[in-house]
Amino acid sequence: MDNTSLLSLSYQLAAFRSIDVIANNIANVNTPGYKRESVKFEQVLQQMKPAEGQKGPQTVSFVRDAGLLRDISGGRIESTGAPFDLAINGPGYFAIQTAQGERYTRNGHFTLNADGTVVTESGDQLMGDGGAITIAPDDGDITFGADGTITGKQGQIGKLRLVDFADPRALSKEGDSLYSTTQQANAAPNAVIAQGMLEGSNVQPVIEISRMIEVMRSYEATASLEKGHSDMQRQAIQKLAAVQ
Amino acid sequence: MRALSIASTGMLAQQTNVEVIANNLANMNTTGYKAQRAAFQDLLYQNIQQAGAQTSDTGTLLASGIQLGAGVRTAAIYRMTKPGDIKNTSNPYDVAINGAGYFRVQMPDGTDAFSRDGNFQLSSAGQLVTQQGYTVQPGISMPPTATAVTITPAGLVQATIPGQVALQTVGQLELTRFPNEAGLRAMGDNLYAETSSSGAPQSGVPGSTGYGTIQQYFLETSNVDAVSEVTSLISAQRAYEMNSKVISTADQMLAQTAKLGG
């Protein structure tokens, strides 16, 4: 294959990756705490033989997907009215104890288990400053304060463990709205808790759909470039054959 | 191409969402009905390139990795346990629970079921029963001569008997609560069953700590909020459309690829 075909191939692979990422954003448009991602492209330069009449080495630049950028801006806050739906306004994460160790999430949809412990839908415990949070039936209606203080009828029950990281974009996604990291978890003093609310995803449908159209059109353009190139080659072969 | 399967998980999730909303709207006027919500989570991620991987001997690190998601899943359909509005019915056997708790009802097979629907009536034997004829526990029978019934906020059931000055106490309603009432299993007919996730039932007298009080002549309406359901319906439908748009785009790209071979 020559450079034209390889160049279009490099873009086509990157375009497929882009569409996968856009599809995942759109699929999670209603997932609480989901953060949208976009593909970061980079060019890979390669030396090539100078064309006829040109002097010195020339480069050809291929494209490749270098990484995914996570947009960690806050999602829209929606009212649900459920007492264990908590939204974090500002930077910060809830700490969740899983079988694999501590994980972090911004999906604030919690529920109680049979023991009255606050858990995620997967049954993992939400961590307070002093471990798991257990609500006694006599506590009545539970109130979560803006700073994460949990109070019931019988007084304070505990305080949410809210953490933040030096580089929140580098958290690794685990599925089930959980993140894992090797970074040191710091306190998140600026996190404000809103009870009865959920932070929706920060996916903007307009951006995703227009980005998708853009990727598809440039994919088409690349495909037609390749078509044109192969037509050119075919003509060249036919003409050269006719000369002989 | 992952986009096709990712978008199909999105369409399935939104379909579930629409079904849950439809059920809520259908039960807008069902006594004691609790609205449900679908809870979504993202599916597992495939690590293509790990963020923080070393890019040189001097210790420079990759700032961002590539983790490809596989779409979305419905993690749970949970019930909103907040109370519905209480409406006056002027029927003496209509009782609403103001606060926490469920009525305990005996099913025909002898097991217990729980309900917040206090739309009771009397059986031919004078027993207090639900609309389906299941006995309210503990059993309360009205004397055949009774002309009126009074149910106090503490659940005491008293009958007016002709010729007697004082009211005759015929029974005491009890309420049952659970550590996690969202974990109850809905059985239809406004009844719920205990599960391992709801925790063990605890019975108590209405009005005691942690239990609600009883209001005679009232019924608890459903807690479905029509406006928020309709807005969720619109947003679910649009999300469904967007996912189907992803599928058609992925399809067009694949069609372009297929044409290249010609």
Domain residue limits, chain B:
2-80+225-261, 85-221
Is any Cβ of chain B less than 8 angstroms from the Cβ of A172?
A: yes
For B258, phi and psi rounded to 5 degrees?
Answer: -65, -35
Is the pTM higher than 0.90?
A: no
A1, pLDDT greater than 60 = no
Q: How many residues are recorded in chain A? A: 244
Rounded Cα–Cα distance for residues B160 and A220 (Å): 85
DSSP three-state, residue A167 = coil
pLDDT for B261 equals 63
Is any Cβ of chain A less than 8 angstroms from the Cβ of B182?
A: yes
Tell me which residue in A31, A69, A137 faces B202 most closely, judged by beta carbons: A137
**A186-243 confidence digits (pLDDT tens):** 998 889 999 999 999 999 999 999 999 999 999 999 888 888 888 888 899 999 888 7
**In what order do the strands lie in the sheet containing B112-115?**
B121-122, B128-129, B135-137, B103-106, B112-115, B191-193, B185-188
B117, pLDDT greater than 80 = yes
Rounded Cα–Cα distance for residues B139 and B174 (Å): 10
pLDDT for B262 equals 56
Chain B: give the shortest CA distance to residue A59, in Å.
23
Residues B180-219: b if buried by 16+ CB within 10 A, e if exposed: bbbbbeeeeebbbebeebbbeeeebebbeebbbbbbbebb
Residue B65 and residue A32: Cβ atoms within 8 Å? no
Q: What is the mean pLDDT of residues B151-171?
A: 90
pLDDT for A24 equals 93
Burial class (CB in 10 A: 0-12, 13-18, 19+), B78: buried
B41, pLDDT greater than 80 = yes
Tell me which residue in A68, A107, A182 faces B65 most closely, judged by beta carbons: A68
A33, pLDDT greater than 80 = yes
| Optimal mutation site among A5, A20, A222, interface B, most CBs of chain B within 10 A | A20
pLDDT for A2 equals 72
Cα–Cα distances in angstroms (integers) from residue A69 to residues A18, A75, A175, B50, B138, in the given order: 12, 16, 17, 13, 61
Answer whether A198's CB lies under 8 Å from A87's CB: yes
High-pLDDT (> 90) share of chain B, %: 56
Answer whether B202's CB lies under 8 Å from B176's CB: yes
Four-residue CA torsion sign, A200, A204, A209, A214: negative
The conformational region for residue A60 under phi > 0 = left, psi -120 to 50 = alpha, else beta, is: beta
B13, pLDDT greater than 70 = yes
Least confident of B43-57, B94-108, B194-208: B43-57
Alpha helix (H) residue ranges in A28-137: none
Mean pLDDT of chain B: 89
Chain A: give the shortest CA distance to residue B68, in Å.
7
Residue B65 and residue A208: Cβ atoms within 8 Å? no
Rounded Cα–Cα distance for residues A32 and A176 (Å): 11
- Judging contacts by C-beta atoms under 8 Å, the chain B residues touching residue A31 are 40-42, 72
- Judging contacts by C-beta atoms under 8 Å, the chain A residues touching residue B3 are 16, 19-20, 22-23
pLDDT for A125 equals 94
Q: What is the mean pLDDT of residues A101-125?
A: 91
Residue of B nearest to A34 (CA): B42
A244: confidence class by pLDDT, cuts 50, 70, 90: low
Tell me which residue in A27, A114, A176 faces B7 most closely, judged by beta carbons: A27
Q: Can you read off the two tokens belonging to residue A187?
A: 């306190």
Answer whether A64's CB lies under 8 Å from A96's CB: no
**B170-192 confidence digits (pLDDT tens):** 999 999 998 888 888 989 889 99
Q: Please tell me chain B's helix, strand, coil percentages from 3-state DSSP, rounded to the nearest 5.
A: 25, 35, 45
B19, pLDDT greater than 90 = yes
pLDDT for B129 equals 93
Residues β-bridged to residue B156: B172
Burial class (CB in 10 A: 0-12, 13-18, 19+), A229: middle
B230, pLDDT greater than 90 = yes
Residue A140 and residue B236: Cβ atoms within 8 Å? no
High-pLDDT (> 70) share of chain A, %: 99
CA-nearest of B84, B154, B156 to B116 is B84
Residue B82 and residue A83: Cβ atoms within 8 Å? yes
Q: Can you read off the two tokens belonging to residue A23?
A: 């599809």
CA-nearest of A204, A207, A107, A30 to B239 is A30
Q: What is the mean pLDDT of residues B222-238?
A: 92
Rounded Cα–Cα distance for residues A132 and A90 (Å): 23
Answer whether A112's CB lies under 8 Å from A84's CB: yes
